[in-house]
Chain A
Amino acid sequence: MKETVSKPFAHALKDHGSINEKLVVVTNDLTASCEADLFAQAFPDRHISAGMAEQALIATLSGLSDEGLYPLYPSFAVFTTRRPYEQIALTIAYPAKKVRLFGFLPGLTTPGGVTHQATDDLGLMTQLPNMTVLEAADATDMATILNAIKDIPGPVYARGLRGDVPKLFKEPLVVGQSRDIFPGEQVVVLASGSMVEIAVKEVEALRAEFPELGLICINTLKPYGDKNLFERLKKAKIVITYENHLISSGLAKATAMHLAQNPGPKLIPLGINDTFTHGGSQDYLFNYYGIGKANLINAVYKAFGKSSLNINQDDELIKSDIILNKSVAEGL
């Protein structure tokens, strides 16, 4: 029975509001959907409803920060990053403002379809100078991330999870530090965000057959890497990156940049590969776009030189009714 926590971010945001009286939360008509509702109820004077006007909203955050407030904007990641991209680049990233941007509905976690699926948000944010970029993988991450980023002097983009969130970790998220989950050295899986839950389960099972299979959770995409991660990459023969994002600009890209300059292991990138996506249930989408558990298992077999694949991806492609998420305000 897996353990989940209901709305960990909503509670953390409210708690953070008690600790930091400079915290102001600005929303774009997605207050409950992005778990700012408890904060807004507790601190109505510090909640600004800016409406569906993301360009002005982002630049407004910059101005709030200029005057000494600590602004935070939680939205669906597509509306956090893609629509107001230029305003983020010029009014937040360039002047290195202490602003916090949160993006929910990461990758293929929503039936909302191409308009709601953020498959490029991490790429857009990591390419901005001055920006720190994080991705939460579980309820502990979501509960501790606000504390983890509170002293970063520049802007932060964090990709988050909402509603009923699986709890995988006990220790709080630390910026710039990956999480060692399984120690195997020969093949190392680097997983991020919503892929970590699947990776923990599958890698644990696969380790019976492949004791030299390891797993690391990447929470900090930028700046990339830490001493432990670099050591483990050096020892590995094959690295599998496993992300809910386009491989061209997410975890695979960041890892490839490192490996290009520190040659050693071969890279197998698992993620969305140069395609736009469509709406559906999460399991269906994960399998359809090549990031389901079958894809991970197949990649591990390939990495260990086993030619016979144990699972056919098509068997997993069950086209069921779309199940709407009951744990969030909208069924997205």
Chain B
Amino acid sequence: MFAAKLFTLKEIANKIRKYTAQWTIRANGGYLAQACGTAEILATLFNDVLDLGKSSGPMMPAEFVGVPKPGAPGTRGETWLGAGPDLLVISPAHYAIAMYSALVATGRMDEEALIKCSKDGQLLEMIGAEHSPGMVVSSGSLATALSVCVGRAIARKKLNKPGFIWVLLSDGELQEGSTWEALQLANAMKLSNLKIVIDNNGMQVDGQMNNVMPIGAIEEKLKAFGCEVYDIDGNNLEEINLACKSALRDEKLSVILARTKPWTGFSFLWDRWENNKLHFIRLTELEKEILSKELAVL
């Protein structure tokens, strides 16, 4: 049965890579590697694991009207995810383009929106805010969304609300102390309704994390904090599926440590990984040529 699903999931993952690559060419810059690393994770979460419900956001998002005001929250990116019971929260808002691409790939937004709604005065910002489709927290300043989700999970438990809150965290956020504060509280509160997937891609702005600021034995640290940890290949659909399904049954706080390859999909990305230039991609003419060719046969 899962074999039948595999085809669909692969297709969604490919589309996430494709739309993000096209955006990167169009805008002459974008967070392409983040999408390439997490395409399989996003595909699985959207299409196989979460019960998000139907999007009630328009296929073509409206223009930016204003920032939230007391009593008038304005457009909520959450609308495109659906009314639940489950919720998917992207912690590093730099993954916004990947999220928009996933919304298009899963039929929640028009492909046209990626072009029309990413201009000035529109909602599809490069680093998303909570008015951006699919974004729940304005977490461009890293390591804030997990704590917000801890609050939501505590409240849902207290109010006996069903559903799971899934947070996609990046490994870079493990350098921030507030991430560990959040894990500490989540474990103290025994939040079995909170599930974390860490995109362990080993890179940050300045380059490979081991050279910038090593974070050590992540799995052991998470276990010491009380988490149930799944160490998986984050680009392998079967492994993602198995870990997610198992995590749903955990009494403890589950963390899926997804070791991803952010160079997956396009050949020139590996060179950028080696040269510490993978975080943000402004294409050279040669790269643009390679990317366009590879997109044509993706």
Answer whether A and B are interacting partners.
yes
What is the interface of chain A, defined by CB distance below 8 A to chain B?
24, 45-46, 48, 50-51, 53, 55-69, 71, 86-87, 90-91, 94-96, 98, 129-130, 132, 152-155
Known: A63-B149, A130-B70. 20 other contacts (CB 8 A): A24-B158, A53-B181, A53-B184, A55-B178, A58-B147, A60-B148, A60-B150, A60-B185, A62-B147, A63-B155, A64-B152, A66-B155, A67-B159, A69-B159, A86-B144, A91-B138, A91-B148, A95-B138, A96-B73, A98-B70
Within 8 A of A (CB), among B142-156: 144-156
Q: Are B181 and A55 in contact, with the CB atoms below 8 A?
A: yes
Please pick, from A50, A57, A68, A90, the residue contacting B138 in the complex, using a CB distance under 8 A.
A90
Sample (22) of A-B pairs whose CB atoms are under 8 Å apart: A48-B189, A53-B178, A53-B181, A55-B178, A56-B181, A59-B145, A59-B147, A59-B178, A60-B154, A60-B182, A63-B155, A64-B152, A64-B155, A90-B139, A91-B138, A91-B144, A96-B72, A96-B73, A132-B70, A152-B70, A153-B71, A154-B71
- Fill in one digit per residue for B53-87: 1 if any A CB lies within 8 Å of its CB, else 0: 00000000000000111111100000000000000
Please pick, from B70, B139, B152, B189, the residue contacting A67 in the complex, using a CB distance under 8 A.
B152
| Bound complex: CA A307 to CA B198 (Å) | 70
Q: Are B185 and A50 in contact, with the CB atoms below 8 A?
A: yes
Please pick, from A48, A51, A55, A90, the residue contacting B154 in the complex, using a CB distance under 8 A.
A48
Find the residue from B139, B147, B149, B177 having the highest chain A CB count within 10 A: B147
Residues in chain A near residue B67, CB distance under 8 A: 94, 129
Q: Are A56 and B68 in contact, with the CB atoms below 8 A?
A: no
Find the residue from A56, A57, A132, A153 having the highest chain B CB count within 10 A: A56
Please pick, from B130, B144, B152, B158, the residue contacting A87 in the complex, using a CB distance under 8 A.
B144
Q: Given contacts A64-B155, A66-B151, is CB(A130)–CB(B69) below 8 Å?
A: yes
Nearest Cβ on chain A to B127's Cβ, whole angstroms = 12
Q: Check B236 for interface membership: any CB of A closer than 8 A.
A: no
Find the residue from A57, A66, A68, A153 having the highest chain B CB count within 10 A: A66
| Bound complex: CA A109 to CA B128 (Å) | 42
Q: Check B141 for interface membership: any CB of A closer than 8 A.
A: yes
Residues in chain A near residue B177, CB distance under 8 A: 55
Q: Are B147 and A94 in contact, with the CB atoms below 8 A?
A: no
Residues in chain A near residue B155, CB distance under 8 A: 24, 63-64, 66-69
Residues in chain B near residue A62, CB distance under 8 A: 147-148, 151
Nearest Cβ on chain B to A27's Cβ, whole angstroms = 12
| Bound complex: CA A119 to CA B179 (Å) | 29
Q: Are A56 and B130 in contact, with the CB atoms below 8 A?
A: no
Nearest Cβ on chain B to A22's Cβ, whole angstroms = 9
Residues in chain A near residue B147, CB distance under 8 A: 55-60, 62-63, 87, 91
Nearest Cβ on chain B to A46's Cβ, whole angstroms = 8
Minimal Cβ-Cβ distance residue in A for B148:
A63
Give how many A-B residue pairs fall within 8 Å (CB-CB). Answer: 120
| Bound complex: CA A321 to CA B69 (Å) | 49
Q: Given contacts A53-B185, A56-B181, A67-B161, is CB(A96)–CB(B70) below 8 Å?
A: yes
Nearest Cβ on chain B to A8's Cβ, whole angstroms = 27
| Bound complex: CA A68 to CA B72 (Å) | 15
| Bound complex: CA A217 to CA B137 (Å) | 39
Q: Check B115 for interface membership: any CB of A closer than 8 A.
A: no
| Bound complex: CA A132 to CA B177 (Å) | 29
Q: Which 4 A-B pairs have the closest CB atoms?
A: A63-B151, A154-B70, A59-B147, A153-B71
Residues in chain A near residue B146, CB distance under 8 A: 56, 59
Q: Are A56 and B182 in contact, with the CB atoms below 8 A?
A: yes
Q: Check B205 for interface membership: any CB of A closer than 8 A.
A: no
| Bound complex: CA A266 to CA B68 (Å) | 37
Residues in chain B near residue A50, CB distance under 8 A: 185
Please pick, from A46, A68, A98, A154, the residue contacting B69 in the complex, using a CB distance under 8 A.
A154
Residues in chain A near residue B27, CB distance under 8 A: none
Residues in chain B near residue A46, CB distance under 8 A: 158
Residues in chain B near residue A64, CB distance under 8 A: 151-152, 154-155
Q: Check B215 for interface membership: any CB of A closer than 8 A.
A: no
Nearest Cβ on chain B to A60's Cβ, whole angstroms = 4
| Bound complex: CA A95 to CA B144 (Å) | 13
Residues in chain B near residue A45, CB distance under 8 A: 158
Minimal Cβ-Cβ distance residue in B for A94:
B138
Q: Are B138 and A51 in contact, with the CB atoms below 8 A?
A: no
Q: Check B188 for interface membership: any CB of A closer than 8 A.
A: yes
Residues in chain A near residue B148, CB distance under 8 A: 59-60, 62-63, 66, 91
| Bound complex: CA A95 to CA B130 (Å) | 8
Minimal Cβ-Cβ distance residue in B for A98:
B70
| Bound complex: CA A154 to CA B70 (Å) | 4
Residues in chain B near residue A59, CB distance under 8 A: 144-148, 150-151, 178, 182
Nearest Cβ on chain B to A25's Cβ, whole angstroms = 13
Nearest Cβ on chain A to B81's Cβ, whole angstroms = 13
Within 8 A of A (CB), among B8-42: none
Q: Are B178 and A56 in contact, with the CB atoms below 8 A?
A: yes
Nearest Cβ on chain B to A276's Cβ, whole angstroms = 25
